[in-house]
A = this chain, B = another copy of it.
Amino acid sequence: MDTMALIQGLDLLGTLAFAVSGAVLGNRRHLDLFGVLVLACVSAVAGGIMRDLMIGAVPPAAVADWRNLAVAIVAGLAVFRFPALPERMRFPVRFFDTVGLGIFAVTGAQKALTFGLSPPMAAVMGMVTGIGGGVLRDMLTARVPVVLEADIYALAALAGAMPVALGHWAGMPILPMTAAGVGLCVFLRLMAIYRGWRLPRAE
């Protein structure tokens, strides 16, 4: 019970962070209020919807349950009304985004395992959950998704999903694997941001 409540709470935190990132981009593109809200919602829920469609969890959680969408709308309204706020709070926004990425990757992989996917594909589904919203947000604004271009991001999501997948395969309890996954994802993102860890590019 406690574990579930913790995960759900963190899940809403991740939703909040992704919604903020979408709304910020909408403001920068001078979208109107409704466009900003759409972008906030897409960023927050699209990854989960993609995962749910692919694992057969229909209707997707973000469609069956109004809470994620409500959090995204409130976050979008706040960013629209106080556009300077995310700039001033750059550290917490980035922090929540990083934690949100880890949470989405971990919970996405767990849900995929629950629906019978093999551990490797469950890890991939965790990655999709983590990056899907940002990818669609960027496609909607006609730019190459930053998660494909920028520092270690999609890889951090995949790495975060792996302890869960491995733990399931090895029959280990969920809670420590969840913590390890989120921790690994956050660690890789922090190294990418503050130490400049990069993957190679072809010449």
Contact = CB atoms under 8 A, between A and B. Distances in A.
Oligomer copy total: 3
A125 B63 CA distance: 9
Given A34-B152, A140-B139, A144-B142, A121 B53 contact: no
Contacts of A39: 148
Contact of A30 (B32, B34, B35, B201): B201
18 contacts: A26-B148, A27-B202, A30-B201, A30-B202, A32-B200, A32-B201, A33-B199, A34-B155, A35-B148, A38-B154, A53-B53, A54-B63, A63-B125, A64-B118, A69-B124, A81-B202, A135-B140, A142-B143
Interface of A: 26-27, 29-36, 38-39, 49, 53-56, 58-60, 63-64, 66, 69, 79-81, 83, 115, 117-118, 120-121, 124-125, 135, 139-145, 148-149, 152, 154-155, 198-203
